[in-house]
Amino acid sequence: MLILRNKYQVAIQGERIIISSDDNSRKKLLFVSHTFPYPPTEGIKLPVYYLLKEFSKKYSITLVTFIQPGGEEKYIPEVKRYCSKIIPIPYYPRKSIIRRVFNLFQPKLPFNVWQFFNQKMLAAIKQELIAQKYSLLFFDFLTTAIYKKFIDSPVKSILHYHDAMSMLFYRNFLVERNYLKKFYWRSQYKKIVRFEYELPGYFDKISVVAEVDKKWLQEKSGVPEDKLVVIPNGVDVNYFSPQAVAVAEDYPSLIFRGIMNFSPNRDACWYFLREILPIIRKEIPEVKFYIVGPNPEPEIQRFGQRDKKIIVTGYVEDIRGYIARATVNVCPMISGSGIKNKILEAMAMEKASVVTPIAAEGIPELKDGENGLIAAGPDEFAEKTVQLLRDKDLRRRLGAAGRQLVLKHYSWEKAAEKFSGC
């Protein structure tokens, strides 16, 4: 049951429930998201939530968002604090294998775009543009970009693309061992490149979180440089701080975290389990490995059931306790793109990290031996992890330097300011 304060207005239009409050004094921003941004723990939910929070200081925001019935409605008041109006569109994304196979024969749209195209969402956006005068249209992620194709509006528009998705899919293709899945990634990669090539025609600006993503979109997808802007994610440094939780360190232990059914996270986890952890255990047999995050696949869960020193948690309400408990944070990414919030948040908590070059590439200020350790292959990764586990002073130095890096370069306030300057 949803309970709202008296200052909220609830209107029913067709099958949609619209929650709004009076705020006519500021410029209006229409924010379109494929995911409801609460709780802001992992994935796209996190940046959407914090950008709404920062944008609300300057704009009166209307949020048009998909919402999964049967659970997410209870969080509407949490997001309503930053929005003058929320238009939730009930929707379950179409993720079945059958639909993925069907999409192989869909000549144009990538699956990630096709599965989130919804006529009710499009109608809601068009209706808002007729009813209200907006100063800025903000579309979040690849999944919402398609809607701008069907909207003819002179209002300035920004696509926050986050990562170069074609780079992510190409790297998935490179590391995939299963031939059928390899064919799928290759097919989707080609579709996404074609889709990215069209984006400059729809938007005034396209933002990505790292320079490496900008360069890829220019070189591989033909996006003009004057259309692109780099705006890194931020970190809530008060929430992620070394004083935030009082948890004893579980020495010696390692943590890897993320949404575990996301292909790059799954690949990284298997890479660590199969190729790196056995080398570490030759030196430190008692080391524990925490795999933290929602949706771990059954085979990874069975790993934890067979080996008591591998702890597979699944979803956790508060990640900070697990970061604080671990001796070292590891990020063994071998695919993916963009910036790794999991590294920045560990840094903010002064937790020293060992990361691969792919994991580090979105954080140009991350320097090997200065505020973290970067390792290219299994042997080097294991060697540097063992070094960090054995050297408490090094952990403290790298951890302190990592937090300073985050404080200096990665705040949500700075990110919102950069969007305002686009």
Q: Give the model's pLDDT for residue 6.
A: 42
Q: Give the model's pLDDT for residue 96.
A: 61
Q: Give the model's pLDDT for residue 9.
A: 57
Q: Is the pLDDT of residue 77 over 90?
A: yes
Whether the upstream peptide bond of residue 107 has omega within 30° of 0, thus cis, is no
Q: Give the model's pLDDT for residue 3.
A: 40
Q: Give the model's pLDDT for residue 70.
A: 83
What is the side-by-side strand order in the sheet with 373-374? 310-314, 288-292, 253-257, 328-331, 353-355, 373-374
Mean pLDDT of 209-220: 97
Q: pLDDT digits over 311-367, tens only?
A: 999 999 999 999 999 999 999 999 999 999 999 999 999 999 999 999 999 999 999
The residue with greater pLDDT, 417 or 373, is 373
CATH of domain 253-409: 3.40.50.2000
Cα–Cα distance for residue pair 346/369, rounded to 1 Å: 16
Tokens of 416: 């919102």
Q: Which amino acid is at 40?
A: P
Q: pLDDT digits over 47-65, tens only?
A: 999 999 999 999 999 999 9
| CA distances (Å), origin 347, targets 91, 311, 323 | 36, 22, 10
Q: Is the pLDDT of residue 157 over 60?
A: yes
Cα–Cα distance for residue pair 294/296, rounded to 1 Å: 6
Q: Is the pLDDT of residue 148 over 90?
A: yes
Q: Which CATH architecture best describes the domain 9-233+412-420?
A: 3-Layer(aba) Sandwich (3.40)
Q: Give the model's pLDDT for residue 19.
A: 59
Give the CA angle between residues 412, 403, 312 to the nearest 5°: 90
| Residue range(s) in the chain whose domain bears CATH number 3.40.50.2000 | 9-233+412-420, 253-409
Q: Is the pLDDT of residue 88 over 80?
A: yes
Mean pLDDT of 18-38: 82
- Residue 148's Cβ-side half-sphere holds a number of Cα atoms within 13 Å equal to 31
Cα–Cα distance for residue pair 265/279, rounded to 1 Å: 20
Q: pLDDT digits over 97-128, tens only?
A: 666 665 666 667 898 898 899 999 999 999 99
The residue with greater pLDDT, 13 or 235, is 235
Q: Is the pLDDT of residue 243 over 80?
A: yes
Q: Which amino acid is at 79?
A: V
Rg, C-alpha atoms of the chain:
22
Q: Is the pLDDT of residue 299 over 50?
A: yes
Mean pLDDT of 3-26: 55
Q: Is the pLDDT of residue 14 over 80?
A: no
278-300: b (≥16 Cβ within 10 Å) or e: ebbeeeeeebbbbbbbbebeeeb
Q: Give the model's pLDDT for residue 101.
A: 62
Q: Give the model's pLDDT for residue 109.
A: 86
Percent of the chain with pLDDT over 70: 91
